[in-house]
Structure 1
Amino acid sequence: MADLKEVIPTIDLQEIPDKMLNQKIREASERWGCFKVINHGVSMSLMAEMKKTVTDLHELPNEVKMRNTDVILNSGYKPIIELNPLYESFGLYDIASPKAVNTFCDQIEASSDQREILVKYGKAMDGLAKDLVRRLGESYELEKTDFCKGWPIQSRISKYHFKPETIGRSGLIVHTDPGFLTILQGDEDCGGLEALDTCSGTYFPINTLPNTLTVNLGDMARIWSNGRLCNVKHRVQCKKAARRITISSFLLTPTDLDVEPPSEFVDAQHPRLYKPISDGELRKIRMSHSMHDGESLKYITI
């Protein structure tokens, strides 16, 4: 069987005019639920420094890693477990907040240089994520396009332990992200990320190229858009024996803020699909029912 080809678009964020760029982001978000971006404003040097920082932090002793505790539900350190035996990750809630970064770094005794890189990276991801959401709002001609102002951005910095005997196995189970939007800095040396094409029911690869970031939409984006945006299902497959380092930045809605569609998304042809719900309540549903791939939305479907 021939290797599947990547099908999602790569979008140049310095493309002009803005209206055409915004439309491309909208079309990719509706059709695929994901796309890649170049000329995104995050320097290659910062991306390289962040990858080295993440790699070094994963060399810490397990007892130190375990000090990275939850701020919100399921947001702290995730050790290797039976469900995900090839994967571990740190969680940093609100990476755009220097105070939150310092708390995280105090827990695991990170160096001053590592703190500085985390703060710079968090600021860059926060700016990029909110710019993308603003562009989505503009593409729908919403009256209010700065609705995500003040939303937190969570970082999950991950390491995959791929070995010769694990090739062909799942590195991370099929899931949707619970938040609104995710920006992923993948590993250029070890791929494996795949996303579901809802039209064909098949998975396609998402390849990591230099100075390229992957963007995907989560459950909250689907709720907010009244079903217009695709909360893409994705997974990680072990393709080769290698260490895999990734950095995911999740733009979240506030844990106690109920999300519902703007009035522009609801009319006689498009009745309301979901009950209003907060990020915190949606996470509780996902956790209590062990649901990972968007099935939790059936509990709030009208």
Structure 2
Amino acid sequence: METKTCVPIIDLQDTSGLPEKLVKAGEEWGCFRLLNHGIPRELMSEMKVVCRSLLDLPTEIKQGNCPPGPGRRYTPPNLAGPYFEGLNIYDMASPGAVDDFCAQVDASPHRREILLKYSQALRDLAKDLGGKIMEGLGLAGEIFKNWPFQLQMNKYNYSNETVGTTGAVMHSDPGFLTVLQDDELVNGLEIVNRFTGELVSVDPIPGTIVINIGDLGKVWSNGRFCNVKHRVQCYQPRVRISIALFVFGPKGKKVEAPSELVDSEHPRLYIPFDFEEYRKLRISTNSPTGEALELFRASN
């Protein structure tokens, strides 16, 4: 009987060899799904409702007076994603970020409460994962401390005419990792198997969270982790909602692999660089799947 290829599924409450399982999934797939991650199902459901209600607001409210560019609040449908739109809270852990966003879109006290609870829960999960990944690599210390996090709410406006089309083009995420609540009812996320090049559908499992490793995770791990390439397809004519927390790069410090991951057998692959400069370079060089990383290759 033919078995279906799927990404690793990791139970965070099964502590037996957990750090090593996370590292292996990051190396082989750059993508895995988490069970028993600690975020209440009720909170996830409430956040999805809040996300949909905010993205259903009139365009002028979503757009506001925020200029385009990094940190912009609203991404409207465009040529690259004609069926996609998104709202985000850039550096959402900074003081007042969620309150400022809520004021701009006139969010109700209930929406504000859910946004605060949910964003804190995702941030705590990301930090916990960071610690376990460090442990799995034999490293000590804390990662992601004072790193900027961006909360992004996504809506794919699918219809009968869009079935079979692409909602989000093939890309890798520029940061270290992405914590994603995908739509438990509407599938569409596909990743590239790094070994075979085949597209693999990341089928939804209600109540779970998807983790994607980004470009920065590949650099920081000295090439051990895979910056997974992925896209979103339209499988059915239904609105698709997803919510993502992007863990970007450290503030005021360059991105580089820890010295413990560099030796004579594993020379440093990338020279240290500033994450925000890299993110701008990705855009200016049209490198959606991380091709711009080659500009920072070390000459060993």
TM bracket, shorter-chain basis? over 0.9
| Match of residue 50, structure 1, among 41, 47, 51 | 47
- Please state if 1:250 is matched with 2:251: no
Q: Structure 2: how far apart are the matches of 1:283 and 1:256?
A: 15
Q: Counterparts of 2:132 and 2:66 in 1: how far apart (Å)?
A: 34
TM-score (norm. length: structure 2)? 0.95
1:282-301 CA-partner distances (Å, limit 9, x unpaired): 11101111211111101111
Matches within 5 A, 1:48-197: 48-67=45-64, 69=66, 73=70, 75-97=72-94, 99-142=96-139, 144-197=140-193
Q: Paired residue for 2:221? A: 225
Q: Deviations over 1:232-291 (max 9, x none)?
A: 000001101000000011112234321101111111111111111122011110111121
**Contact preservation (8 Å) 1:5, 1:204:** no
In structure 2, how many angstroms separate the alpha carbons of the residues matched to 1:156 and 1:42? 17
Mapping 1:22-41, distance limit 5 Å: 22-41=19-38
CA distance in 2, matches of 1:71, 1:92: 14
| Unmatched tracts of structure 1, length 5 or more | none
2-structure distance, mates of 1:72, 1:255: 18
Residue 68 of structure 1 contacts residue 104 of structure 1 at CA under 8 Å; is this kept in 2? no
Give unpaired runs (5+ residues) of structure 2: none
Distance 1:150 1:72 in 2: 22
Determine helix, strand or coil for the equivalent of 2:268. Answer: coil
| 1:8 matched residue in structure 2 | 7
Please, what TM-score do these two structures have when normalized by structure 1? 0.94
RMSD between aligned alpha carbons?
1.7
Change (3 A) 1:197 1:108: same
State whether residues 197 and 204 of structure 1, in contact with CA within 8 Å, keep that contact through their aligned partners in structure 2: yes
Identical counterparts, % of pairs: 43
Distance between the aligned counterparts of 2:72 and 2:275, measured in 1? 12
**Cα pair 1:25 1:136 within 8 Å, conserved:** yes
8 Å CA contact 1:68–1:90 kept in 2: the answer is no
Question: Alignment length, in residue pairs?
Answer: 297
> Cα 1:183–1:11, aligned 2, differ >3 Å: closer, same or farther?
same
Letter of the aligned partner of 1:117 in structure 2?
A: I
Question: Do 2:127 and 2:143's aligned partners in 1 also have CA atoms closer than 8 Å?
Answer: no
1:185 CA drift (Å): 0.4
Tell me by how many angstroms 1:145 deviates.
Answer: 2.9
Helix, strand or coil at the partner of 1:154: strand
Contact 1:96 / 1:119 at 8 angstroms: preserved in 2? no
